[in-house]
Amino acid sequence: MTDSAKASSEHANSAAKTPELQTGRSVRYVVGMAHGQVVEGQSASRRGRPGYDLESLLAVAVAVFNERGYDGTSMEDLSRRLGISKSSIYYHVDSKEDLLALALDRALGALFSIADQVMEPASGEPAIVRLERLVRGSVQVLADQLPYVTLLLRARGNTSTEREALVRRREFDQIVADLVAEAERDGDIRPDVDPAVTARLLFGMVNSLVEWYRPGKRATSAAELADAVCAVAFDGLRIRRTGNSAGRELGTIE
Taking the C-alpha atoms of residue 151 and residue 254, their distance in angstroms, rounded to an integer, is 45
Q: Does 238 bind a copy of itself (CB under 8 A)?
A: yes
Q: Does 118 bind a copy of itself (CB under 8 A)?
A: no
Least distance from a copy of itself to the Cβ atom of residue 90, Å: 23
Q: Does 246 bind a copy of itself (CB under 8 A)?
A: yes
Half-sphere exposure at residue 102, Cβ-oriented, CA atoms within 13 angstroms:
18
Among candidate residues 136, 252, 104, 152, the one with its CA nearest the CA of residue 202: 136
Select the span of 11-19, 52-60, 87-95, 188-196 touching a copy of itself (CB under 8 A): 188-196
CA dist list (Å): 56 to 26, 53, 92: 9, 6, 11
Q: Does 233 bind a copy of itself (CB under 8 A)?
A: yes
Half-sphere exposure at residue 74, Cβ-oriented, CA atoms within 13 angstroms:
8
Q: Does 27 bind a copy of itself (CB under 8 A)?
A: no
Instruction: Give residue 188's Cα distance to chain centre.
Output: 31
Among candidate residues 99, 112, 93, 96, the one with its CA nearest the CA of residue 167: 112
Q: Which of residues 125-144 bind a copy of itself (CB under 8 A)?
A: 128
Taking the C-alpha atoms of residue 69 and residue 155, their distance in angstroms, rounded to an integer, is 9
Q: Does 245 bind a copy of itself (CB under 8 A)?
A: yes
Q: Does 219 bind a copy of itself (CB under 8 A)?
A: no
Least distance from a copy of itself to the Cβ atom of residue 104, Å: 16
Residues making contact with a copy of itself (CB under 8 A): 67-69, 71-72, 128, 153-154, 156, 158, 180, 187-190, 192-194, 197-198, 200-205, 207-209, 211-212, 220, 225, 227-229, 231-243, 245-247, 249-253
